[in-house]
Amino acid sequence: MIQQINGQQIRTADDVQQAVDKSQIGGSLPVAVSRNGQNVTVSVRPDEFPAKAG
């Protein structure tokens, strides 16, 4: 379960989207998650959505 993104508390899927929208493409984004009862922070790199084929 996602707890925080870039230090911002996450409560809803909309919170996740807003935090990612505020981030810089290609930058490092810390994401704090609760996994198997332990809190872990991982770093992700946001990228642009791929173009739709067709």
Residue-wise pLDDT tens digits, 2-44? 999 999 999 999 999 999 999 999 999 999 999 999 999 999 9
In a domain, 37, yes or no: yes
* CB distance 16 to 9 below 8 Å: no
pLDDT of residue 39: 95
Residue 9 lies in a domain: yes
Q: Which domain holds residue 18?
A: 2-44
pTM of the model: 0.80
> Looking at residue 2, what is its pLDDT?
95
Q: pLDDT at position 52, please?
A: 78
Q: Is residue 32 part of a domain?
A: yes
Greatest distance between any 2 Cα atoms in the chain: 43
Q: What number of other Cβ atoms are within 10 A of residue 5's Cβ?
A: 21
Report how many domains make up the chain.
1
State the pLDDT at residue 54. Answer: 62
Determine the pLDDT at residue 50. 80
Rounded to whole angstroms, how far apart are CA atoms 18 and 6? 11
